[in-house]
Chains A and B, each alone.
Chain A
Amino acid sequence: MNPEYTQDDKTQIMSVLVYTESDQGTFKKAAFEVASYAKAVADQLGTSVTAISINVNDASPLGNFGVDKVLNVSNPSLNDFNAHTYASIIQQAAERESAQVVIVSSSADSKYLAPLLAVKLEAGYASNVIAEPSNTSPFTVKRNAFTNKAFELTQINTKIKILGVSNNAFGIVENSASASVEDFAPALPESGISVKSVDKASDKVTIADAEIVVSGGRGLKGPENWGMIEELAHVLGAATACSKPVSDLGWRPHGEHVGQTGKPVASNLYIAIGISGAIQHLAGVSASKTKVVINTDPEAPFFKAADYGVVGDAFQVVPELIEKLKAFKSQQ
């Protein structure tokens, strides 16, 4: 609670707070999407948007997505993500701004910190939200449930509400304003968790951030055939993924397994190669907007869930598609 403000002032300064994630000093794409979403919510509520960012070199680009004010925390001890500490920082920002709605993304980090934040703020939390609130009183949002097999309309009954926005569900909306940037120095609580080592491929697009995901299944016969999958992904600037048996067999790392029990995919384009389209696989990837299937078997269930399909042998289709895409890219 901030003693400088009286009760009445507090209602006036009430705002929407959005946590904008960054990587090595630069905002992630998801930051611009959650900022755009926050602007839409703030417009509904007739209030402004404050963003909280951590160790960002230049926070002003958020203005292009409707953010009015940025609280930026700079502290080298925050370079490694820590859910407990980050949740505490967001809590302090929320209290300072008397935020009524707090918005986060659906990244692994945001999903990690949001429940901790919910306890600190005694806030109801709705995850996997896919559209702007359908009503603000009672506060109601639409979210994915049953691993994309259904949508749920959820009402949040608490004073403060936390929304986790599903990737690529709302999109980025330009909304030119100019954001003022303030330094923010919250108290940093002791954390009982310390990072010992990080093992991360820095040169690859991650499934969570990717707009395009190229995914391979058991139809590719063995790990030695993934060169063309990697190349297709490279040409498209895409992340690579795989079906569950492929990671169980050790052909690809576990982190690439997508589906109901693996990572969720909500990309703009999902290309499935040699994947049959079992219900557990489809459940986890069906939030992707456009799906392309390449499979020898015209009866493969995935064709029923796809937008575009090629009935053909991956070993012929994929190399040729790579050539066509290279030609296309060079004309752009």
Chain B
Amino acid sequence: MKILVCISHVPDTTSKINFTESDTKFDTNGVQFVINPNDEFGLTRAMWFKEKQGAQVTVVNVGGADTEPTLRKALAIGADAAIRVNATATDGFFVAKQLANVVKEGEYDLVIAGRESIDYNGGMVPGMIAGLINANFVNNCIGLDIDGNNAKATREIDGGKETVSTSLPLVIGGQKGLVEESDLRIPNMRGIMMARKKPLNIVEPTSADAATSSVSFEKPAPKGAVTLVEPDNLDELVNLLHNEAKVI
């Protein structure tokens, strides 16, 4: 089985978010970038398929040279090869077209992406890849087993979960639950050394129009001070929620 894991390169979850160039660009100054948490769960599940079922695992990112350390980290965790599509990831549709192209060229059976990137929160790339290559698609995936050409997947739904059966070629939008938190791997020295020798192929993008473009950013207005209520005066809290906030 050939697996492609899509890796989005995002600011660490504790990052302070700022913008530059008249609020049109994300300010990367002092920001640490990491593998998107949803993709880390997906990569870990891919490693399981590699170790238990002999799968071959390639990781891919659409981005500039600055994303390479993130791809190297995925190699150090255990992926066999990496691909970087050399283009700025301007919009979900554009990225999905690039990735669909990589899937077609490499004839991957399973594409593991994340439910959403924690930066732009588009939640669109995996479904678009599936649409573009005409593959089955399971979003919010929290469990995946593959047997030959058949797949059994569990997905989170509002208020519970659902088990579905489907087949390869398959794209999933993975999230927490796909593997145990304790199974996530931190690259060790040996992994880091080996990663240096693994292939990281740079491919040029195919031409595609961006369907959307980012115009500008804005930060939420600063929050007013909290209104504190004494623990022995909870009638006041009920009153405030009813008459002031009008939420009960």
Q: In the bound complex, do residue B37 and residue A108 qualify as a contact, i.e. CB atoms below 8 Å apart? A: no
Indicate if B164 sits at the interface (CB-CB under 8 A): yes
Complex CA distance for A83 and B38, rounded to whole angstroms: 21
Cβ contacts under 8 Å, A157 to chain B? 209-213
Task: Using CB atoms, name the residue of chain A closest to B19.
Answer: A150
Closest B residue to A237 by CB, please name it. B248
Smallest CB–CB gap between B147 and chain A, Å?
A: 14
B-chain residues with CB within 8 Å of residue A125 when the two chains form the complex:
92-93, 124, 211-212
Q: How many angstroms from the CA of A206 to the CA of B160 in the assembled complex?
A: 9
Complex Cα distance A148/B116, Å? 14
CB distance from A306 to the nearest CB of B (A): 5
Could you say which of B128, B132, B227 contacts A308, with CB atoms under 8 Å apart?
B227
Q: At the interface, yes or no: B193 with Cβ under 8 Å from chain A?
A: no
- Which of B127-155 touch A at CB < 8 Å? 127-128, 130-132, 136-140, 142, 152
The chain B residue sitting closest to A106, CB to CB, is B123
Stretch at the interface among B50-58, B72-80, B197-205, B214-222: B214-222
Q: Does A90 contact B (CB under 8 A)?
A: no
Residues of A within 8 A of B38 (CB): 261
Known: A153-B218, A200-B159. A290 touches B213 (CB 8 A): no
In the complex, the answer to whether A279 meets B234 with C-beta atoms within 8 Å is no
Tell me the bound Cα distance from A120 to B131 in angstroms: 7
On whether the beta carbons of A269 and B247 are closer than 8 Å, the reply is yes
Interface string of A122-144 (1 = CB under 8 A from B): 11111110000000000010101
A212-B142 contact in complex given A195-B164, A261-B13, C-beta closer than 8 Å: no
Q: Is A74 an interface residue (CB 8 A)?
A: no
Contacts of B216 in A (CB 8 A): 152-153
User: Which residues of chain A from 170 to 209 have any CB-CB distance to chain B below 8 Å in the complex?
Assistant: 192-202, 204, 206-209
Q: Are B245 and A152 in contact (CB under 8 A)?
A: no
B127 touches A112 (CB 8 A): yes
A residues in contact with B227, CB < 8 Å: 307-309
How far, in angstroms, from A111 to B124 measured CA to CA in the complex? 8
Contact B229 A145 (CB under 8 A): no
| Interface residue A69 (Cβ < 8 Å from any Cβ of B) | no
Interface size class of B (residues with CB under 8 A): 35 or more
B residues within 8 A CB of A289?
245, 247
Contact B226 A293 (CB under 8 A): yes
Residues of the B chain whose Cβ atoms lie less than 8 Å from the Cβ of A324:
234-235, 237-238
Of A36-44, A94-102, A313-321, the stretch lying at the interface with chain B is A313-321
Q: Which residue of A lies closest to B210 (CB)?
A: A157
Q: Assess whether A158 is in contact with B120, with CB atoms less than 8 Å apart.
A: no
Contacts of A311 in B (CB 8 A): 228, 231
CB of B120 within 8 A of CB of A152, answer yes
Which residues of A sit under 8 angstroms from B211, Cβ to Cβ? Answer: 118, 122-125, 156-158
For residue B17, CB closer than 8 A to chain A, the reply is yes
Measured between C-beta atoms, what is the minimum distance from A291 to chain B in Å?
9
Q: Which of B172-195 contact A (CB under 8 A)?
A: 173, 175-177, 181
Tell whether, in the assembled complex, residue B158 and residue A118 are in contact, meaning their CB atoms are under 8 Å apart: no
On whether the beta carbons of B121 and A290 are closer than 8 Å, the reply is no
7 closest residue pairs by CB, A with B: A115-B127, A119-B131, A200-B160, A124-B211, A312-B231, A206-B159, A269-B247
- Sample of 12 more A-B contacts, CB < 8 Å, known A114-B127, A146-B119: A108-B140, A115-B126, A119-B127, A146-B118, A150-B218, A154-B213, A156-B211, A195-B162, A204-B159, A248-B181, A292-B241, A310-B230
The interface of chain B, by Cβ under 8 A from chain A, is 11, 13-14, 17, 19, 37-38, 91-93, 96, 118-128, 130-132, 136-140, 142, 152, 156-167, 173, 175-177, 181, 209-220, 223-224, 226-231, 234-235, 237-238, 240-242, 245, 247-248
Q: What are 14 A-B contacts with C-beta separation under 8 Å? A: A146-B120, A148-B220, A151-B217, A151-B218, A155-B215, A156-B212, A198-B157, A199-B163, A290-B245, A304-B226, A307-B226, A311-B228, A317-B231, A324-B237
